Structures are given as structure tokens and as C-alpha cells.
Structure 1
Amino acid sequence: MNRRKLLQSIAIGIPGLLMSKNFAALAHEFPEISEKVLSGPFSPTWESLQSYQTPDWFRDAKFGMWAHWGPQCQPEAGDWYAREMYIEGSHKYKFHLEKYGHPSDFGFKDVIHSWKAENWDPEELVSLYKNAGARYFMALANHHDNLDLYDSKYQKNWNSLKMGPKKDLIAGWAAAAKKNDLFFGVSVHAAHAWSWYETAQRSDLSGKYAGVSYDGKLTKAEGRGKWWSGLDPQELYAQNHPLSENSLDNGAIHKQWHWGNGVNPPTKAYIEKFYNRTIDLINSYNPDMVYFDDSQFPMWPVSDAGLRIAAHLYNKSIKETGKLNAVITGKILDENQRKAMIWDIERGQSNAIEPLPWQTDTCIGDWHYDRSIYTRKGYKTAKTVIHTLVDVVSKNGNLMLNIPVRGDGTIDELERKVVEDIGVWMKANGDSIYGTRPWKIFGEGPAQEGAAKLSAQGFNEGKGKPFTEADIRFAVKAEQLFATVMGWPASGQVLITSLKEGSIYYPEQINKVEFVATGQKLKFERNTAGLKVYFPESAPAAAYANALRVT
């Protein structure tokens, strides 16, 4: 049956075709035949999705960890490798030229082919993250490089079972999360491969390869006699389209991320294939959470594909669990859009208590593994991570932390030490984090006065004043108020002005102050200047943030 006859048959409603065992195969061959949106209380409109309520598990968990791991980790040269290796003169272009050869001969498809993930042990890593205090775990399902890291029906050749590792990575991560009793998330980034890969259409402007096209426009016919014989590189690169406006401006993609400012419009076939791939991922691996690296929902506003995905996931969760337990995150959301999904702030945090739960995602290094960061010992410290977590929690947020994974599937010893040190603090102070809610104010101290504003997706971390013992962050749980002092006071005491006698924030009597890490009762005095708390004589391990329980 050809395409026209098939569509005519569907249009006049042949029930036998729609119910047949061959329909899934036909839907794959004709990607405009979409996976079904599960019916339920949510429909694919912003108005309907704005009745979303954040599930308690997410609000209580506070801390998740992420394996932002895929074929771009194989070169160990950092993030956006598959785009920047095609930018003549860039650091990654030069790196690629030296390590692999020219992008006309050895493109990113060949990097994928070289990636084996030979030492990957998902259970060991996820167990490590649980011991560090994570309550949920997220794995990369695909990145802008467009390789699906699972048994994908719609990216049937360019996925991790057919390419590279020859393994179902999402299945492995999901099983490890389940074994460790962690909520499981997947991150989906592939919507933007359409424009992100446009650099692969270029050629060198100078040198001996001047005018020699990179491999971004290769066709299936050109694979004869090569390792990728019989495969179509365009299923990966998706570059059978004209360049976007200003495509040769390497920074233009950031202005075009929301499918505006001259980006070449994606075709319906491209959009529906992305939609089908994502619904297949959700149906096959049952994630509790889906993270989208998109402004709002993916493909918005050029398509409602992302709205359909959201309605499907929410309805699926209600049908299977009896209540809405699913989480979707997205970026650069207005106030109404934040009602439909969780607002995600990349590498940054809000400067106020947000009325709705939110999340920051950040990394101790680069998103994809970068050996140069390891070599120069440039990872964030556990102290920095814990300070971020405490601050974010005080403002009604969660922290999702990425630990970069090497191409072989392992993390290095410096990363492991950071994770273990986080675990030391969380084991001692986790009660001040898990299950808490924001207080009347998020904190006090000089750091908030020098806080940097959000920019685009976020990107304000590390731009303000560093936290010191003068900075306090608050959170509540039942009748307990937690006041976390962001340092060990050299004087042995701290004055919390927000808890002074007659405070409008805490008019109640204070009967007890405990050091959360040890349970030790602390001496305190309260007057019109504040609550003066006398710290223990010696500092415990990981004393860079010290939680006090006030009752």
C-alpha cells in the first residue's frame, strides 16, 4: 500500500487496519501516523495542562543525580562535541583533527561507532549515588546528537543497541534505579538536532581541506563498502534541509532555540518522528520524570508535539498509579507555563522563594566528560554542591546534579571523592533537606545581597558572593524549623537575626536548639538582637554547612 492509499484508508476509517498487528510497522514506515495519546483528564493544550500538581515524591526528594552520558563522552573533550567538531578552528575541531582525522573522513557517526561503554556498571554507579543521598536518578535518553540510548522503534538504526555499545542503556539505568528504590527520570534533548547539527553541512574555508564537505550531507548510497553500509546518515544528522538564517554565526543557535529568529522550520515528518520516539521511550521504560532541554515543551510553538507528550505522560501516570506521579521539566517558562510543568533552571537558582516547586540542574564539571577538567582538578567541591542544595531547598527547589561519565562508562577517582563527600554531609544533615518546605523567608546574610540575576535558561551560579558563616538558610518540616549556617563560625557562636525576640517570622517561644548532625542540644540566648546559638567545641566532618533544628 503506498502512502496516499494508506492515508486515504485511514481518513475513511478502516478499523481493521488501525487494529491490525501491522499498524505499528506501518506507523514506523510512515512517521506522520503518531503514537496514540492516552486518554484521561489531561488534553494537549496549555489550558488543560495548567491543572497539573507537582507530586509529593518530587517535593520531598529534593536531591537527584544525573548521568548525562552518551557518545559525546567518548572523546572526553566536553560538551556539544558533535556540533563543535564541525566548527573550523574551534578547540574541538582541532582536537578532532588530531585524534580522529578530518570531519569529512571521520564524522560524528564514526565517533558513535568507536564508543563501546565497555566498563559500564549501572548498579554500582546508582548505588553510589543513593549512598550520597540522591532520592531520584536521571539518565540521558538522547542528546542533540540524535542517537537514542534505548531500544528505539523509530530511530531503529541509530540507537545504542545497533550502534556503539550495542546495549540498552536506559534499560540498564532503569533497572539499577529500581533496585536502589530510586525514582527514575530520563532526559530528552533530540528535538533540536535539526538545527544543532547544521555545522555538519559545512566545509573548511582554508587549508588543504578547503571546500571538502563534512559528512553531514552524506546519503545512504555513499555508504557502500564502509562500516555504515546500508545505513542512512540522514536518520542521524537530519540535514536534508536548507540552513537556518545566520547559520554560519556559531552563536545564532542560542537565539533560535525557541524555533524563532530565522531557524529553518522543521518538517512535520521530523516533528512526528521525535514525538513517536518520545512516546515509545515513555511507554517502554515507564519513567517517573522526563526532562526536556527545551524552551517550554519541545517543538513549541511550531507544533503541539510536546503538549501531546505531556498529556500522554500525565494520563498514563494517573491510569497506572491512581494519581498524578509524573514530572516533566522545561526551561524559560512564564508564570502560566510553570503551572503545566516544573520550571528547570540550568546552572543557576532563583533569588526568591518560588510559589511553585522548581529544579536547578547543574554539573560538577562539563555536561559531557572533559578530561582537561580532571587533569587540572577543576571539579566543583562537595562544599559548593551542598551550599547550592541548601540554598535551592530554602527557595522551594530541587537540585539535579550531573556527575560526568567517561566514554567507557566509569567516573574518575576525583569525581568519586566529591560524591562520597556529599554523602558524608547528607547522612548527617539529610533530615534538614528531605521532606521540607520553604519557610516564610528563605534566609539572611550578605550572599543574598550580591546574588546575580538569572540569564536565559539560568546561568547565574557562581556569579554572586560566596556563602559564609554569616549566611543562614531556612526550611520547615512539621513543627521543626531548620536554620542552616553556611560555614563553621570562627567565634563558636552565630546570631540569627530573623529569630530575634518578637520576630514577626517566629513569634513563638523557642525551647530547644539541636545540632542536626549529632543530635546535640546547644546552648542559646534570645533577645531583641537575635537568637545567639553556641556551637559545639569541635566541628564534625563536612562542617561547611551546619543545620540547626529549632523547636
Structure 2
Amino acid sequence: MLNFETRVGPDFGDNPPSYPERDVPEWYRDAKLGFFIHWGLYSVPAWATAHGEGGVPTEDAYAHHQYAEWYGNTVRIAGSPSWERHQEIYGTGTSYEDLADLWDANAFDADDFVSKLIGAGARYVIPTTKHHEGFCLWDTETTDFNSVERGPKRDLVSEIGTAVRGQGAKFGVYFSGALDWHVSDFPPIESDTDLFRFRRNDEHFAKYSAAQLEELIERFAPDVLWNDIEWPDGGKGHEDHAVAALLRRYFEAIPDGVVNDRWGVPYHGFLTREYRHIEDIIDEPWESTRGLGYSFGYNQAESEEHSLSGEELVRLLVDVVSKNGNLLINVGPRADGSIPELQEKAMNLMGEWLKANGEAIYGTRPWIRAGDKLAGSPVSYTRKGDDLFILANEPSVGSITLPEELSATTVSHWIGVDGTEIEGTVDASGSVAIPGSLHGQPVAVARVACGT
């Protein structure tokens, strides 16, 4: 996957645009866990090639795209599995955009839906407001291709935002800045090169995107602006509709807001890393994002073998946080607005674990290193003030070994399954037994005083 912060063209020479100076706010760094919601026309067919860890050959990656939310592109690649399946189910006369009239969100209750995300531990929630297909999920004045005029006949962004803020979490918006297949006339994207070649960069489209983003800011005051696949080059200069001016107005309206790194300009807030394992601490604030399976949009072809278990989800969260990151995990609802049981099962386990162990996650910062593979269970570290949390990733092993920096430590306190503390004693070799009651946990947590 690309590192978007490295894509910073075009070059304006000695007269570059002036970007606002903003640090990533502490609320974002403290939050640690957010939920993406990928929901759109692609949720109607809800299908993509199910890959798994092995993936497919590079030359087939787009014809066999693992992301169901890319169905609108994949279905245009003649002979692709999505193309063939679409003909079988919908017939040759049904276009992708015709699916808008088949989208029925009758099972969606925003308060109930959001309560499941909050219950899973989310501190911020970011729905897709417009994905690459160009279908807007709010009552926009820029196009009739939206969820109020067609399909659900509802302002889904407004419903989700009201529910999120009503339940005390931060609300952000995902927006596809430079890809909009509804107002473009390009061949299907079949390579990473095409991803940046087959998109509009003209001034008219840049103004269209800017008008939509301005609507989202004015109507929803999002705490996070999560842009995707850069911004049209016709909107990267000094103009009033360009990125620099948009970001200045955004921060004037929401001083404690934050943006990501996918704008294609020499400015970013937090870094994004998509479906990637990061080896060590990244000094800049960053965010790991992925689906619970191998797709963001719901893919009915995926089964348990393609999806993170609750235990794996907890360990992923611990790994990311120990390396100075936030985890933005995605839930992909069915078209009707219900959360697939496989996803909800993993979410529930993470939520239960966080109820007892959240103090080792929320509001923490990385220690001098992310973890160790000493004798006993491999461990990750997080720090809060003078407390060091040692997170044992394989509790069933039965013990951990303290790092040499803590050789003088004689007592540790384990966090029990109900959140109460269990005293643990360090033996002469620096080993600490993991209480038997924690052996079945995805991660067991000990607290020790570190003073650094």
C-alpha cells in the first residue's frame, strides 16, 4: 500500500501555497480506537473476490479486487469475476449506478448501530460520506446522486453524526477527494498507475469536490477530515477552492479538528497505513486502518477464515497502540444497515476486553520500545505517566519476563477480567507468573512503576 504523505505534487517552485500550522490534537492521540463505516451502493451486491493472506498476482489485483467497495470499478473490467457475477444476477441492462434504486436501508437504526461501535470501544466514528462511486450519503445540493433522492431516501451522514455525538464520541467524515466515477469518463482502473492517471484534475471538478467538502464541514463540523486518493490537481494552488484555503477555513471553524495525509500536498496531519504491519514505533502520530476482513465494504464471499477473530483484533489494537498509532477498524454493514454477525462477534470481544483493560490503551503513549520477545509470553508496552503497562500477547504461556530496565522491580499488578488488580511477584530471574484467571484472555495486562 502507498505512503500517501510522499505524494506532494505539483511543484509550485518559489511560490508554494501556504498551509495552516496545526499539530495533531491530544484528543486524537488519546482516543486510540476509531471505527470506519464503509456503506454505499457497493453494499447492494456486497461482493468481491475473497483473497486471504496469499492475495493474487499483481497483474490481476484490480480485476480480482479484494475490496467490495471497488465493485463499481471492477464490474467494468470485462471478464472479471465481478463482471461475470453482475450479468448473472442483475442482467446486462443494469448498470452499477442503477443499484441506487435497489438500496433499501430498512434495518438501519443509527442509535442502535452506533451503540454497538461505542460498546466495542470506539472513541471516534468515521462513515464514508462519498466513496469513489460518487454517491453521496447526505442531503447535498451538488448532485441528485445521493441517498436522500434515491435508494434509502435518508440523510445517513446526519443520522450517524447525531447518534455518534449523542453517545459522547467524536465524529469524522471520509470523503473521496479525487476519485468520483459518477462524474468521470475514464476506462476502468487496472493498475496502481491507472489509479492516478484515470481521475479528473480539472478546475471544474476541483470546485465540485470543494463544494461538497465545504457542505460537510458547514453541516456536520467534523472532528476528523479523512480524505482519500489525494485531491484534484486543479485544486492544489492558491485559489479559494484549493486545499490550502479549504484547510484554513476548516481549522478556523473547528480549531481542535484533525486531518489525515491523503491530500497530495506538502501538508498532512496524521499518517495513514492501510492493511500493513508496522515493525516499530513511528514518531509521528499515525493511524492503522483495515477491515475486519480483507475488504472495507461488506463482502458476502468472505467467511470466518478471512476475518479477524476477537482475539486477533485485540492483539492488533495492542500492537498498533504500542507503536504510537491509532487503530481505525472498519465495520462494513449489509445494505439494509445491519452488522454481519461475524464482524459483531469480534467487536463484542474487543469491547469486553477494553472494559477491563482500557487504561492500558486509552490516553497512553509508547515506551522506549514497542515490545520484547523475552522468555515467556511476547509482550508489548504502553506508558501513562509513571505507569508502564506490560501487555502479554500469549497469556496461556503462563509467565512474562521483565525487561532489564525494570530489574529493580519486585511487584507488579495484573488487571483482572473484571478490572480489579491482582498482585504479582517478580522472582529472582525477573519472571512474573500470569494469573490463571487471565490465561484465556487475548492479552493479559500488568502494571508496573517505570518512572520514565
Q: Identify the match of residue 369 of structure 1 among 291, 298, 306.
A: 298
- Structure 1 residue 377 displacement after superposition: 5.3
Gaps of 5+ in 1: 1-43, 198-235, 319-324, 447-467, 502-508
Partner of 2:421: 519
d(CA) in 1 for partners of 2:396 and 2:275?
Answer: 28
In the alignment of these two chains, the number of paired residues is 407
Runs (4+) of structure 1 moved beyond 6 Å?
none
d(CA) in 2 for partners of 1:367 and 1:350?
Answer: 20
d(CA) in 1 for partners of 2:235 and 2:278?
Answer: 29
Q: Does 1:133 align with 2:121?
A: yes
Kept after mapping to 2: 8 A contact 1:330/1:342 = yes
Alpha-carbon spacing, 1:48–1:333, altered in 2? closer, same or farther (3 Å): closer
Kept after mapping to 2: 8 A contact 1:342/1:358 = yes
d(CA) in 2 for partners of 1:148 and 1:521?
Answer: 54
Q: What is the DSSP-based 3-state SS (H/G/I as helix, E as strand, rest coil) of the residue aligned with 1:330?
A: coil
Mapping for residues 114-513 of structure 1, pairs under 5 Å: 114-155=102-143, 157-193=144-180, 197=181, 236-239=182-185, 243=186, 247=187, 250-252=189-191, 254-257=192-195, 259=196, 262-263=197-198, 265-295=200-230, 298-300=231-233, 303-304=236-237, 305-318=242-255, 325-331=256-262, 337=267, 340-365=268-293, 366-374=295-303, 378-445=306-373, 470-490=377-397, 492-501=398-407, 509-510=408-409, 512-513=411-412
Give percent identity, aligned residues only: 25
d(CA) in 1 for partners of 2:79 and 2:38?
Answer: 26
Q: What is the DSSP-based 3-state SS (H/G/I as helix, E as strand, rest coil) of the residue aligned with 1:80?
A: helix
Q: What is the DSSP-based 3-state SS (H/G/I as helix, E as strand, rest coil) of the residue aligned with 2:174?
A: strand
Kept after mapping to 1: 8 A contact 2:310/2:346 = yes
Q: Identify the match of residue 549 of structure 1 among 442, 447, 452.
A: 447
Q: What is the DSSP-based 3-state SS (H/G/I as helix, E as strand, rest coil) of the residue aligned with 1:510?
A: coil
Kept after mapping to 1: 8 A contact 2:177/2:227 = no
d(CA) in 2 for partners of 1:333 and 1:535?
Answer: 48
Q: What is the DSSP-based 3-state SS (H/G/I as helix, E as strand, rest coil) of the residue aligned with 2:204?
A: helix
Q: What is the DSSP-based 3-state SS (H/G/I as helix, E as strand, rest coil) of the residue aligned with 2:363?
A: coil
Residues 123-150 of structure 1, C-alpha deviations (whole Å, 9 max, x = no match): 1111111111111111110100001100
Mapping for residues 22-37 of structure 1, pairs under 5 Å: none
Alpha-carbon spacing, 1:122–1:526, altered in 2? closer, same or farther (3 Å): farther
Alpha-carbon spacing, 1:301–1:190, altered in 2? closer, same or farther (3 Å): closer
d(CA) in 1 for partners of 2:413 and 2:263?
Answer: 40
d(CA) in 1 for partners of 2:412 and 2:271?
Answer: 35
Alpha-carbon spacing, 1:45–1:167, altered in 2? closer, same or farther (3 Å): farther
Kept after mapping to 1: 8 A contact 2:396/2:439 = no
Output the amino acid matched with 2:164.
A
Kept after mapping to 1: 8 A contact 2:221/2:253 = no
Q: Does 1:539 align with 2:438?
A: yes
Q: What is the DSSP-based 3-state SS (H/G/I as helix, E as strand, rest coil) of the residue aligned with 2:216?
A: helix
Alpha-carbon spacing, 1:190–1:119, altered in 2? closer, same or farther (3 Å): farther
Q: What is the DSSP-based 3-state SS (H/G/I as helix, E as strand, rest coil) of the residue aligned with 2:107?
A: coil
Greater Rg by CA: 1
d(CA) in 2 for partners of 1:116 and 1:190?
Answer: 26
d(CA) in 1 for partners of 2:16 and 2:169?
Answer: 31
Alpha-carbon spacing, 1:60–1:479, altered in 2? closer, same or farther (3 Å): same
d(CA) in 2 for partners of 1:352 and 1:301?
Answer: 37
Q: What is the DSSP-based 3-state SS (H/G/I as helix, E as strand, rest coil) of the residue aligned with 2:395?
A: coil
d(CA) in 2 for partners of 1:272 and 1:332?
Answer: 15
d(CA) in 1 for partners of 2:312 and 2:404?
Answer: 24
Alpha-carbon spacing, 1:176–1:546, altered in 2? closer, same or farther (3 Å): same
Alpha-carbon spacing, 1:264–1:174, altered in 2? closer, same or farther (3 Å): closer
d(CA) in 2 for partners of 1:332 and 1:510?
Answer: 47
Alpha-carbon spacing, 1:332–1:284, altered in 2? closer, same or farther (3 Å): closer
Alpha-carbon spacing, 1:511–1:314, altered in 2? closer, same or farther (3 Å): farther
d(CA) in 1 for partners of 2:342 and 2:437?
Answer: 27
d(CA) in 2 for partners of 1:333 and 1:350?
Answer: 22
Q: What is the DSSP-based 3-state SS (H/G/I as helix, E as strand, rest coil) of the residue aligned with 2:436?
A: coil
Mapping for residues 63-142 of structure 1, pairs under 5 Å: 63-77=33-47, 78-102=68-92, 105-142=93-130
Q: What is the DSSP-based 3-state SS (H/G/I as helix, E as strand, rest coil) of the residue aligned with 1:191?
A: coil
Output the amino acid matched with 1:176.
A
Kept after mapping to 1: 8 A contact 2:147/2:153 = yes
Q: What is the DSSP-based 3-state SS (H/G/I as helix, E as strand, rest coil) of the residue aligned with 2:206?
A: helix
The alignment's TM-score, normalised by the length of structure 2, stands at 0.84
Alpha-carbon spacing, 1:266–1:441, altered in 2? closer, same or farther (3 Å): same
Q: What is the DSSP-based 3-state SS (H/G/I as helix, E as strand, rest coil) of the residue aligned with 2:315?
A: helix
- Structure 1 residue 99 displacement after superposition: 0.9
Gaps of 5+ in 2: 1-14, 48-67
Alpha-carbon spacing, 1:436–1:301, altered in 2? closer, same or farther (3 Å): farther
Kept after mapping to 1: 8 A contact 2:32/2:321 = yes
The alignment's TM-score, normalised by the length of structure 1, stands at 0.70
d(CA) in 2 for partners of 1:469 and 1:316?
Answer: 51
Output the amino acid matched with 1:412.
P
After superposition, the CA RMSD in angstroms is 2.4
- Structure 1 residue 540 displacement after superposition: 5.8
- Structure 1 residue 299 displacement after superposition: 2.4
Kept after mapping to 2: 8 A contact 1:360/1:400 = yes
d(CA) in 1 for partners of 2:432 and 2:274?
Answer: 36
- Structure 1 residue 256 displacement after superposition: 4.3
Kept after mapping to 2: 8 A contact 1:330/1:341 = yes
